[in-house]
Amino acid sequence: MKKLEDYVLSIPDFPEPGIIFRDVTSVLQDADGLQLAIDELMKKLEGLDFDVIAGAEARGFIFGAVLAYNLHKPFVPIRKKGKLPRETISVSYELEYGTAEIEIHKDAITPGQRVVLVDDLMATGGTTKAMIELVEQLGGIVVKNLFLMELAGLKGRDKLKGYDVSSAIIYEGK
């Protein structure tokens, strides 16, 4: 039986020399790989008390929405600036290769709601830290940050000290 890591293609020197790009689309394109990914993420939520799952655009939508469906929980999209139709709050943050701004509907999280944040990959932790800021601005409580993959060499966990962080696959490098 294949391990989840076996479904992830590693592309050397992308997007620049010295970087090994971990391609999540190879997991999504294989029915067994996708099922294994969801099963592994589901295990990491066993016994956790929470109210809602929120996910980052775009691959966090894929994994987050499936988890929400399986657990009969609501799903909240966190999107790039300008993509949500109702009143929003937003936050700017640093990326590994630049800056970005994400937003959430103002009524998406209610005070006291316990939130699981989901994304496909944690690199530097910038996107996740920004998602945490959005949820907390709305009065939500982030109870877990869940990733399919983590690049430990980029030290994203350092930005998330004090928060529960869990990844199905941890790559030691960058």
Residues designated catalytic:
59, 96
Count of CA atoms in the C-beta half-sphere (13 A) of 130:
26
Phi/psi for 16 (5° steps) reads -150, 165
Residue 39 has a CB neighbour count (10 Å cut-off) of 12
Q: Are 109 and 139 in contact (CB under 8 A)?
A: yes
59-71 helix and 31-43 helix, angle to the nearest 10 degrees: 60
- Report CA 114 to chain centroid distance, whole Å: 16
Q: Are 57 and 49 in contact (CB under 8 A)?
A: no
